[in-house]
Structure 1
Amino acid sequence: MAFSNSTVNFEYEDYMFRDEDCEMVFVMETLRGSSYMLIFILSIIGNCLLLYFLFLYENLKNVTNLFVLNLACSDLMITVTLPFRAVDRLLQNWFFGHFACTFVKSAQIVGRYSSVILLTAMTVDRFITVVLHNMPRNKVRRQRFAALSCAAAWIISISVSVYAATRVTVEEKDGRSVCSTSYVHYGFKLAVLLLFFFPLSIIVFCYSAILKIVLQASNRRKHRTVVVVLCIVAAFIICWVPYVIMSIIKSFYKPKSCYARKRVNIAYSICLVLAASHCVMNPILYMLSEKWRKHLLDLFSCKKVRRVRDRKRTTGSSVKQNVAFKAQSSAVVLEPTCS
């Protein structure tokens, strides 16, 4: 059978099968829509707090902070589409028209692919820092690599979204409007191979080498870092791999029985919710660090935080004066403002 002229719907929103003898799984659709709304609320809170802490406390010229900033923006790109998808699932109809359909599909693709590329670039940067630490390092080159990686992530993801935007349609199916996007099979395979599995292989390889180095260290603090690293990789794999695999299965496997159709769509719905939940994972993982938890506690304890930067250099001072100077030049100073 030739696939060159056939198309497949590859998107977050996929309508359920409808037959006279095979009813839709309304309960699953309701849970899916409700899950989107819950993820939307948590993601808005988590990522906005993350951006707030970054701008208020952190140095944005720092390479890691730059990646975290862009990852938060990628997560928010997907987050803003969740209310549209939730309403579509709960009401079983697309009420928002062609423009909103194009926006939702484009934003999903930009957020998805930019997140994958940024996570890969961040992994490579950590690999060079931890594993290849004996190599000569240049701070300016590292910052330039981070900036170029972030720019490339947005350019590539936006380019793919423009391609997808030309194939967005809102059509009537079984008496309701459906927002969908059609791709040629070979283009779909190539996109999955290049924009997901290849970066995933890089991430797994780099983090495997990083874990090997960290586990050999006797420093207890570095052992705690292993947990965070494992959580980042696990979150990425758990959230995205099932979704991509189910998308491939749905592209080629067309179940005929009602039982098989229901099972495929239930599994696909679960994978969609997992993929969307990745928007919440990054803020949660970063809050595991002691520094971010401290920022969060400062916010909840109603303490006003202002950044103080003292660039003066002193020479010939005593050890005690140096300690005082470093404390004065720290990133934040806390001043209680709540009565």
Structure 2
Amino acid sequence: MVSVSGLLNLVPAVLIWVMTFKSCLSQYGDNSTAMNYSEYNYSFVDYDDFPALCVKESNRQFRLWFMSTFYSIICFLGLLGNLLVILTYFYFKRLKTMTDVYLLNLSFADLLFALTLPFWAANSMAEWVLGLLVCKSMHAIYKVSFYSSMLLLCFISVDRYFAISKAVSAHRHRSQAVFFSKVSSAVIWIMAMIFSIPDMMYTTINNKTCTPYSSSSDQLRVGIQASQIVLAFALPLLVMSVCYSSIVQTLCQARNFERNKAIKVILAVVAVFLVCQVPYNLVLFWTTLVTAQGGTEDCHYENRLLYATDVTQCVAFLRCCLNPFVYAFIGVKFRNDLLKLLKDFGCMSQEQFFRYTCGRRRSSVANDTETTTTFSP
């Protein structure tokens, strides 16, 4: 029989053996876990499945100096030119023809466009901190002015077509022309607001940037960009091509010296439109196709598209400061009124006024009519 003292001596030995066995099991389990973790990390993970982050720091640095400089120049010239046009029209009460009404509305549209440029510059340079309301307002005003100016350019070309190619019928309805131009201008502004509804609704602050797009592969972006290409480029280009082609044919049949000057003005109008709008719309069309296909995984290619979009967009924005010179300042009557305005405000002496106006008055008598405002040399 085992004595009580023998049992007491056996208990410590059993406890030591249990603790030793548990330690071995724990050590084996830790090694197993470490081995499995090691194998999981280095053997079973395919890092190609994780998307690589596209670094766009160079594009941000480019926008920091390029967009701010370009936007500042366009904003200054756009405000100066369009304010002079608006001031001249109201000072001399020159709303006598359809073209006068359309040019005044075009100046207001371009002026609104120029006023949004400082906000666009701020959005491209730093994080957007002005809130959602200002963000939506910026895009809404920009789109309304953008679409209205493009539609006004269409109506100006149509008015010039009737005034030159259909001069007899245009003179017959001359008394109703100004009223029709005011009504059609109101319709243009309403249509521009309707076309801008998607931007008003979907514009938001994404990744600390004010944008109407949730991502570079957003399908909503495809619809907005496609509608912009059609309404703000394809439609004006088609209307202007038809109208100005007919005008050039009519002027070529005329046998006077002034027809050559008028044709040069038409070519200048078309050239400015094409140079400003074609590059941007081609890039916009290509980016729309890339977005419709789900975007691109080539970071270098995506950065090049961003560079092309930024540069061509700035060139397209030039139209808001070039329109006053092409559509208003180039006309004889408007140019003389502008010089008279500067003289009345004390910015020009009487001698300088006569020097700039009397030398050109004789050569421009034939074209100094109310129906040739745009194409007068």
State the TM-score bracket (shorter-chain normalisation): 0.7 to 0.9
Identity of aligned residues (%): 26
Change (3 A) 1:141 1:258: same
**What secondary structure, in the 3-state scheme, does the structure 2 residue paired with 1:179 have?**
strand
Q: Aligned letter for 2:182?
A: A
Q: Does 1:262 align with 2:293?
A: no
| Deviation at residue 227 of structure 1 after TM alignment | 1.8
8 Å CA contact retained: 1:67, 1:150: yes
Deviations 1:283-333 (A, max 9, x none): 12222233333334334445569xxxxxxxxxxxxxxxxxxxxxxxxx9xx
Bigger Rg, structure 1 or 2:
2
Deviations 1:194-228 (A, max 9, x none): 45312320111111111121133222223212222
Deviations 1:78-122 (A, max 9, x none): 11110011122233x212111111111101110111011111111
Q: Does 1:277 align with 2:318?
A: yes
Q: Aligned letter for 2:272?
A: A
Deviates more, 1:222-231 or 1:117-126: 222-231
Which residue matches 1:238?
A: 275
Matches within 5 A, 1:283-322: 283-285=324-326, 286-301=328-343
Matches within 5 A, 1:155-234: 155-172=190-207, 177-182=208-213, 183=220, 185-186=222-223, 188-234=225-271
Which residue matches 2:43?
A: none
8 Å CA contact retained: 2:71, 2:314: yes
* Structure 2 Cα separation of the partners of residues 20 and 142 of structure 1: 56
**What secondary structure, in the 3-state scheme, does the structure 2 residue paired with 1:94 have?**
coil
* Structure 1 Cα separation of the partners of residues 205 and 265 of structure 2: 42
8 Å CA contact retained: 2:72, 2:118: yes
Change (3 A) 1:21 1:189: closer
**What secondary structure, in the 3-state scheme, does the structure 2 residue paired with 1:170 have?**
strand
* Structure 2 Cα separation of the partners of residues 67 and 88 of structure 1: 31
Structure with greater proportional helix content: 2
Structure with greater proportional strand content: 1
User: Normalised by the size of structure 2, how large is the TM-score?
Assistant: 0.69
Higher relative contact order structure (alpha carbons within 8 Å, sequence separation ≥ 6)? 1
* Structure 1 Cα separation of the partners of residues 68 and 332 of structure 2: 34
Q: Aligned letter for 1:61?
A: K
Deviations 1:53-74 (A, max 9, x none): 1111242132211011000011
* Structure 1 Cα separation of the partners of residues 235 and 338 of structure 2: 36
Change (3 A) 1:112 1:295: same
8 Å CA contact retained: 1:109, 1:161: yes
Deviates more, 1:253-262 or 1:26-35: 253-262
Which residue matches 2:121?
A: 86
* Structure 2 Cα separation of the partners of residues 21 and 111 of structure 1: 34
**What secondary structure, in the 3-state scheme, does the structure 2 residue paired with 1:73 have?**
helix
Which residue matches 2:155?
A: 121
| Deviation at residue 20 of structure 1 after TM alignment | 5.7
**What secondary structure, in the 3-state scheme, does the structure 2 residue paired with 1:59 have?**
coil
| Deviation at residue 21 of structure 1 after TM alignment | 5.3
Q: Does 1:149 align with 2:196?
A: no
Change (3 A) 1:133 1:294: closer
Q: Aligned letter for 1:230?
A: L
User: Normalised by the size of structure 1, how large is the TM-score?
Assistant: 0.76
* Structure 1 Cα separation of the partners of residues 262 and 179 of structure 2: 26
**What secondary structure, in the 3-state scheme, does the structure 2 residue paired with 1:135 have?**
helix
